[in-house]
Amino acid sequence: MNTYKKRKGNGPYDPSSGEPFRVSRSKIDLFTECRRCSFLDLKFGVKRPSMPAFTLNNAVDELLKREFDIHREQKSQHPLLKKYGLDAVPLQDDRMGEWRDALRRGISYLHAPTNILIRGGIDDVWVNPDGEFIIVDYKATSKKIGPSSEDDLYDQYKRQMEIYQWLFRKNDFKVSPTGYFVYVNGKSDAKAFDAKLEFDVELIPYTGSDTWVEPVIYDLKKMLTNDEIPPVGTSFGGGPCEYCTYREAAGKTFQEQHKKNK
């Protein structure tokens, strides 16, 4: 297990500080998506505009946690796991509340060679008869046709799962190579709303690899200690990063207007 002294605050990178630089799981994902946006965020504290909170998704997540916690307390198998023939039960561990708390702690690991502290908040952990931890993530959406296999999952979801698995392995836990997504898809074909929503629930296995995580941490540290502006990354849909193209277009427009005003 790692012990570390927390760095105060979550400000931009300070090369003169000897404190570990804290980087969340989502910031690792931002770095893989667009290094220029990551450069502005982690090095200068200029974050992307925040998105509206998905409060309905958060409500579904909270209800799922409560539901699985009932089986955790009873040491029983959830019906969803029985349905899919998965021999596992929710993990009983006093640290579950800590591991779920992404804002304050989560599951964390200090990468000593770079002095970067990586952390992330998980949704759930199950355990199989071999004592392997099964990392679980809840996803809620509403689509006409929901995903049914790992081929239908976004790359962002896969990276998220792999980082969580890496974090638990680095904390000396025995982790199953296969994680699971509890995918909840809201049904919109009902005749009336009647003040309730109905959902289809799928259990989607994902077996990936976390071998990319550590090289990315080294690359991130290299970016932090370099003043060279990285190239534009990609957007969620695969095209050029929309945030970068907006900043560039807005900057050029203001420069042109400034010249005219002079």
Residue-level pLDDT at 21: 96
Count the residues in the chain: 262
Write a three-state SS string for 136-183: EEEEEECCCCCCCCHHHCCHHHHHHHHHHHHHHHHCCCCECCEEEEEE
pLDDT tens, the chain, 262 aa long: 444 444 344 689 999 999 999 999 999 999 999 999 999 999 999 999 887 777 778 888 999 999 999 999 999 999 999 999 999 999 999 999 999 998 878 999 999 999 999 999 999 999 999 999 999 999 988 777 766 678 778 889 999 999 999 999 999 999 999 999 999 988 777 777 777 778 889 999 999 899 999 999 999 999 999 999 999 988 766 789 999 999 999 999 999 998 899 8
Cross-strand pairs, 183 = 139, 202
Q: What is the pTM of this model?
A: 0.89
| Structural contact between residues 124 and 99, judged by C-beta atoms closer than 8 angstroms | no
Residue-level pLDDT at 198: 81
Query: For residue 37, what are the contacts with CB-CB under 8 A and spacing of at least 6?
Result: 30, 48, 233, 241, 243, 244
Q: Which of 238, 235, 230, 256 is nearest to 246 (CA)?
A: 235
* Cα 46 from chain centre: 20
DSSP one-letter code for 111: E
DSSP 187-245: ----S--TT---EEEEEEEEE---TTHHHHHHHHHHHHT--SPPPP-B-TTSSB-HHHH
Paired sense of beta strands 21-24 and 116-120, if any: parallel
Phi, psi of 187 (to 5 degrees): -90, 130
| Structural contact between residues 182 and 147, judged by C-beta atoms closer than 8 angstroms | no
Residue-level pLDDT at 30: 94
Residue-level pLDDT at 239: 84
Residue-level pLDDT at 74: 95
DSSP one-letter code for 50: P
Task: Dump pLDDT digits (tens) for 129-179.
Answer: 999 999 999 998 877 776 667 877 888 999 999 999 999 999 999 999 999
The rounded distance, in Å, linking the Cα atoms of 180 and 152 is 13
Query: For residue 141, what are the contacts with CB-CB under 8 A and spacing of at least 6?
Result: 57, 183, 184, 185, 186
